[in-house]
Structure 1
């Protein structure tokens, strides 16, 4: 079953949430409106397995074999080895990175570099640059093993990274929690992610009693900043918006549409990818200068 729509209806963060919450497997296509996204020149294709992001392709077609191209450009395999691999792509039944590592053709460190370059960098760039366009999630699409390193990232982690880099929140303004609302933690610990300093401070005060405006004043932050933090922690399921007076849940503006039902999910045994701190620091600086 497939899900399709416009980014004006569902943000990237909400789409990722739908996929992770259902542990979905399939292919997510993001086709930017190139007239409104002038810095974007290609669509994105993201492979998910069990709610985890396995690969990201930024290009006009899925068959351009970006991972192999990266490996060849970095000199990790010879042109002859790459040519032989290209003839085997149709029969590959496991991530290319796992296959190469099992044959001692590539190291774990090299796979991490490739994952950072193709998955982490592309996701961060997509969140920053893509604001308008269409999306489609196809749960029946074949997995693109040729683009997979064997490392993976949860949609929750990807969402948090992407939203942290977002500079222009105008398209998400209607989805932010109200300044007069309070925030309520949904669990005793922020499971599955590592919060930054400001997120952790907001998390500690998210007990459903203090309004967002008061939290901002208490922490010396702008109210809009706390609203943004509230949104990104809510959209990954760590907290939700409540009335500051009665501490009753409000209608969640981010999740007011019914969740689609998917069938045919497949499990994943892929390894989670640790993220290089220096890589992310350099990437953040690059994207901010570009913005």
Structure 2
């Protein structure tokens, strides 16, 4: 059997460039090691006399202390990025019913269709059968595009009334009708409120 790292053999035969080999090594560290630093609890064990997996090895190496430092730095960056995302218990509302002019992912479309100021993000993710972290990233992007906006929630949304129907409450019998709020008005109002808040 092969008793030399496959990556080194492929590089010697000119089948992989040194740059691509380094990228592969970084990917192995990322997937196989750095993600372990994010675990809060777990069990592991060392198995003695396990044959080395030469076919999975690049032939590159790095000192353990350097790997640990990189893993911790990466964890810190990931946590900082996650802190800037909307929280699982936050609420959003759709700022406009008009179709967006931006290219959206299937998840972003689903969020746009089902987001509600009466439903927190954790519940929305559950309803969509989607990963909560992915939903938080998608909501952050939709908010940046101005398609949704955070609200204090939960807010019970009134049922929209049909144009030309009289008020259900008998308080006013003048045949008054309710006009639905136009999406463009809501959109302009949210932009105005956002600009005031930024000042």
> In terms of Rg, which structure is larger?
2
Q: Select the structure that is richer in strand.
A: 1
Return the TM-score normalized by structure 1: 0.27
Q: Select the structure that is richer in helix.
A: 2
| Structure with larger RCO (C-alpha < 8 A, sep 6+) | 1
Return the TM-score normalized by structure 2: 0.38
